[in-house]
């Protein structure tokens, strides 16, 4: 009787151990697939998260400006959308990223932030960084430019 009980108990323990290992395998695989990013904070407070992927021929850069439509002033709805449009007003920039850098350029605005995503070949990383820097540092917000952006946006809406 004790021998049969031991065999049954051992079998149950083995099955339980196998089930626990099977349950843990997906979480272990997911933990290995998503490494923690390298974090850096520049002197101006800009936070940089960096996920190295050796051997990947492509680069993805994301810039988030925490000033979305929720921060539009009363009576000035759409100001953040216009600012998002002003970052890359020339359609030739998007064509350049697609054709020369083999990637894409997207700007989206929501209630929380303006998100800029640019991707392409790793060989074009410096050019992508230059495009982002130029968009943020030298954004053209003159009265004529804003009027043109507003007209473009209203023509898209109709």
12 and 19 Cβ atoms separated by less than 8 Å? no
* Rounded average pLDDT over 107-132: 89
Among 21-30, 59-68, 69-78, 134-143, which stretch is predicted with the lowest mean pLDDT? 21-30
Phi and psi at 151, nearest 5°, equal -65, -40
Q: Using pLDDT thresholds of 50, 70 and 90, give the confidence band for residue 104.
A: very high
Q: Tell me what pLDDT residue 84 has.
A: 84
CATH architecture of 38-157: 2-Layer Sandwich (3.30)
The model's pTM is 0.67
């Amino acid at each position: 009787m004790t021998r049969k009980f031991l065999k049954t108990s051992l079998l149950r323990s083995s099955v339980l151990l196998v089930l626990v290992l099977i349950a843990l395998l997906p979480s272990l695989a997911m933990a290995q697939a998503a490494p923690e990013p390298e974090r850096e904070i520049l002197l101006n407070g800009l936070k940089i998260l960096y996920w190295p992927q050796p051997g990947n021929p492509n680069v993805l850069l994301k810039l988030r400006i925490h000033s979305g439509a929720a921060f539009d002033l009363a009576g000035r709805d759409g100001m953040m959308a216009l600012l998002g449009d002003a970052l890359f007003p020339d359609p030739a920039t998007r064509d350049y990223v697609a054709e020369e850098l083999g990637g894409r350029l997207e700007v989206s605005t929501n209630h929380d932030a303006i998100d800029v995503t640019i991707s392409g070949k790793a060989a074009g990383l410096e050019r992508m960084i230059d495009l982002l820097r130029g968009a943020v540092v030298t954004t053209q917000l003159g009265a004529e430019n804003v009027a043109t952006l507003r007209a473009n946006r209203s023509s898209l809406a109709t």
